[in-house]
Structure 1
Amino acid sequence: MNLKSLNSLEDKENLDFRGKHRDLPSTNRSFGSDLTRVPLQTRDIDKEDESDPQRLGDYAKDIFSYLHTIEQRYIPQYGYMRSQRDISEKMRAILIDWLVEVHHKFKLLPETLFLTVNIIDRFLEKEIIPRNQLQLIGVTSMLIASKFEEIYAPEIKDFVYISDKSCSKEEIIRKESEILRVLDFNITTVSPLRFLERYARISNLNERGYSMAKYFIELSIIEYKMLRYKASILAASAIYLANKIQGSQIVWPQSLVENSPYKESDLKPCARDLCMLVQGAEKCSLQAIRKKYSQPAYLEVAKIVIISQPHK
């Protein structure tokens, strides 16, 4: 179904974005590594990272202390959807689910996906739009995020192709200029991935637990209500939940109490919501993230079954 045909639908939430992302050719990336997939085998990580120019062990504590102070600077406020008259939370979820598939086919960095969603939400917070503009805003936001995060970003023609030409090159260029002006060119934001990497390495979280935690925070981008949680508490709660599921005796170790703003009791509300997302993922109609994390490359962590809520 073409997005442009939605004006005639009585059910305004019944979106199905046009696109050829399943036919996209594989892209070989010569440069740019995903730092979030570095094996987590550390102890005193800041001491070990003193000579690492990417991790900056000498300054890591100061860097993350600063990130905690600014993480709410450029984030959308939960509740903004009430001002939108023609789109809904469900429409937002369908758009992001489709963009997850596009992101995966393009083999983009994880940060690009989180920045894309941040740009979409911040723009929708400030501008009331008709629903026939939603896919255009989605692909344009991913174009902006790709230019910001990637070494080799997809070109505009690639986004025209994946939208099955429902978004033209000229429309994307105009929308890119509009989005950047509305956001006052403030693109830099702190994603949960940066905090997740830090907390996971401090706690020496195993590879399966780390894949679980990434799955949890990626599920959260689909769910509008998760906007109520800031990036660091999403990351911390994901690790807490992963440790619970794996049966760890200490789910929030002292090393994380000392190197984060959170105690175990601070994490339970967010962990509860994440747990509910995981429990409902199999029956949810939006399956892009679950299919992605059901692959061996992600240790098939999306296949986990939670019988009872482990946050209690």
Structure 2
Amino acid sequence: MSIRALTHENNENCVPRIKNSHSSRHRAFGTDITNVMFTSKSENQDSKDPLYLGEYANDIYNYLHQTETIYLPRPGYMTIQESINEKMRSILIDWLVEVHHKFKLVEETLFLTVNIVDRYLEKTQVIRENLQLVGVSSMLIACKYEEIYAPEIKDFVYITDSAYTAEQVLETENNILRCLCFNLTTPSTFRFLQRYARVCEIDEYAFNFARYLIELALVEYKFLKYKPSNIAASAMYLTQKILKNCSRSLSEQTTNTDAEIRVCAKDLALVLQRAENFTLQAVRKKFMHQKYFEVAKLQVKI
């Protein structure tokens, strides 16, 4: 189903549903390999496994902290848009979460997609009828960047119920890449969360709960004011508090102050509290699955 009609003012609170793609039922475009993080339980073991790049881990993440703000959208950019607003953006991102889940794409693809959408909307006026087109074109770009086997253009046309043609998707892809000067390499909240999870030695349930928090934040426009590392650190902090997890501290791994983490964690807590009754349910439904340990079913009192 197309969400173009749902982005009109009188339908902002509708939840768009996506059509089951024939291709997504028969093959997975990507494989989520994040659980490989938990095959070893201590930092000291990282140096024995080349997958973890233990010898270079600190240098890599120091560099990611230094560069994380280079390609971030400007908070408050929506003021330049005349035809769309924050609620329409939230509807689009919620729908993209569903598409991402249906296509079984790797986690990084979702975060890069949202980054591309926001950076493009920051610089270009988009009419409401083309907002979904920007979304699928951004996901196409992210898939080509992150996935081993990316979905084909016809899959994205199909998932929009043929609201757009393949030519329109390609043209928009070209416009987005030119607008962003082909700069796509940027560290995501998920990448920082992976590092923090290993440092804190949390279990898979806690990691998936933290993933739930950072994906809830993706849908919320107001979280653009926080750096990716801040959201990841705040998600870890809140996860430890809620699950009463006595894991290791992040103090030596994050560049964010305690005050910055607590402020962001407070906003995350508010989003988590209203998740059950929130109009947009794609993230919550995703994390109700057994694959994610059904963390969205946890009854939280904050």
Task: Find 2:162's aligned residue among 142, 151, 165.
Answer: 165
In the TM superposition, 1:61-140 aligns within 5 A as 61-140=58-137
Task: Please give the alpha-carbon distance, in whole angstroms, between the structure 2 residues aligned to 1:295 and 1:238.
Answer: 20
Query: Are the structure 2 counterparts of residues 2 and 110 from structure 1 closer, same or farther at C-alpha, using a change threshold of 3 Å?
Result: closer
8 Å Cα contact 1:86/1:131 also seen in 2: yes
Task: Find 1:187's aligned residue among 184, 193, 203.
Answer: 184
Task: Please give the alpha-carbon distance, in whole angstroms, between the structure 2 residues aligned to 1:120 and 1:10.
Answer: 20
Quick one: percent identity of the two aligned structures? 50
Pairing 1:205–2:202 present: yes
Give structure 1 stretches of 5+ with no counterpart: none
In the TM superposition, 1:1-312 aligns within 5 A as 2-5=2-5, 11=10, 13=12, 17=16, 19-21=18-20, 25-29=24-28, 33-40=31-38, 42=40, 44-45=42-43, 47-249=44-246, 253-254=248-249, 256-308=250-302
8 Å Cα contact 1:24/1:105 also seen in 2: no
Query: Are the structure 2 counterparts of residues 6 and 257 from structure 1 closer, same or farther at C-alpha, using a change threshold of 3 Å?
Result: closer
8 Å Cα contact 2:21/2:158 also seen in 1: no
Query: Are the structure 2 counterparts of residues 192 and 269 from structure 1 closer, same or farther at C-alpha, using a change threshold of 3 Å?
Result: same
By how many angstroms is 1:249 displaced?
4.6
Structure 2 counterpart SS, 1:11: helix
Task: Please give the alpha-carbon distance, in whole angstroms, between the structure 2 residues aligned to 1:160 and 1:43.
Answer: 43
By how many angstroms is 1:306 displaced?
2.1
Task: Please give the alpha-carbon distance, in whole angstroms, between the structure 1 residues aligned to 2:230 and 2:117.
Answer: 21
Query: Are the structure 2 counterparts of residues 10 and 244 from structure 1 closer, same or farther at C-alpha, using a change threshold of 3 Å?
Result: closer
Query: Are the structure 2 counterparts of residues 305 and 87 from structure 1 closer, same or farther at C-alpha, using a change threshold of 3 Å?
Result: same
Query: Are the structure 2 counterparts of residues 168 and 133 from structure 1 closer, same or farther at C-alpha, using a change threshold of 3 Å?
Result: same
Task: Please give the alpha-carbon distance, in whole angstroms, between the structure 2 residues aligned to 1:245 and 1:23.
Answer: 40
Once the two structures are superposed, residues 157-206 of structure 1 have per-residue CA deviations (whole angstroms, 9 ceiling, x without a partner) of 00010111101101001001000000000011111111111111111111
> If the length of structure 1 is used for normalisation, what is the TM-score?
0.90
> If the length of structure 2 is used for normalisation, what is the TM-score?
0.93
Query: Are the structure 2 counterparts of residues 84 and 12 from structure 1 closer, same or farther at C-alpha, using a change threshold of 3 Å?
Result: farther
By how many angstroms is 1:41 displaced?
5.8
Task: Please give the alpha-carbon distance, in whole angstroms, between the structure 2 residues aligned to 1:202 and 1:192.
Answer: 15
Structure 1 counterpart SS, 2:50: coil
Aligned positions, number: 302
By how many angstroms is 1:268 displaced?
0.6
Higher helix share: 2
What's the Cα RMSD here? 2.2
